[in-house]
A and B are shown apart, each in its own frame.
Chain A
């Protein structure tokens, strides 16, 4: 079952913060975050594991709440280069090797 991402779209000014959520109705083992710019391939950002701690990448970090089966991606002091569509991919079992992706959150950062 496809995870639900929210919001569907967000517009920011440079330097502002944003949070993107990814929720599942099923228990998850891992959540993978990707960013895709228009006309390009998705690019890996980070993996969050069940029981794992918050991860960070540049000014982008993420957390995984096991009780809610929800992962949140935090973008702080956003830059123009952060614009793109953010996807979460969820893995239900360790070693399942299949990711189920959400429909994406379109992030636009304006000068």
Chain B
């Protein structure tokens, strides 16, 4: 199993350009997440999905869009990149909450380092 993979690993954009980050998981997980990580800020949730065809906003959704057309893939789009979106982006996935705990582990991909000039 590859687990959670992310494409690309690195990218440099100019202000105003657009791009899509791809996250794929082969663990048949229902839930998928996109986070951004900035120095000293920890991980902040951008958007998440609780199943194929569903998406929801997280803590910092502005400037991003997402789609979950297939269960195994979760796409993060930047329509018009800004320097404030320079960050490391992590994708994660998890199973349905399992009894008796009602929660489950999130598994993270290796990250995409994005620089917007």
Q: Which residues of A line the B interface, CB within 8 A?
A: 2, 29-30, 32, 34, 40-44, 47, 49, 87, 89, 91, 94-95, 97-104
Which residues of chain B have C-beta atoms less than 8 A from A98's C-beta?
A: 45, 48, 58
Q: Closest chain A residue to B113 by CB distance?
A: A39
Given the known interface contacts A41-B108, A42-B90, A42-B108, the answer about A30 and B44 at a Cβ–Cβ threshold of 8 Å is no
Could you count the A-B residue pairs with CB atoms below 8 Å apart for me: how many are there? 65
- For the complex with contacts A40-B111, A41-B111, A104-B42, 20 further pairs of A-B residues with Cβ separation under 8 Å are A32-B103, A40-B110, A41-B90, A43-B108, A47-B103, A89-B106, A94-B97, A94-B103, A95-B103, A97-B48, A97-B94, A98-B48, A98-B58, A99-B43, A100-B45, A100-B59, A101-B43, A102-B42, A103-B41, A103-B42
Cβ contact within 8 Å between A87 and B43: yes
Which residues of chain A have C-beta atoms less than 8 A from B43's C-beta?
A: 42, 87, 89, 99, 101
Binary flags per residue of B42-82, CB closer than 8 Å to A gives 1, else 0: 11110010100000001100000000000000000000000
Shortest C-beta distance, B58 to chain A (Å), equals 7
Q: Closest chain B residue to A30 by CB distance?
A: B103
Q: Closest chain B residue to A46 by CB distance?
A: B105
Cβ contact within 8 Å between B106 and A44: yes
Cβ contact within 8 Å between A99 and B102: no
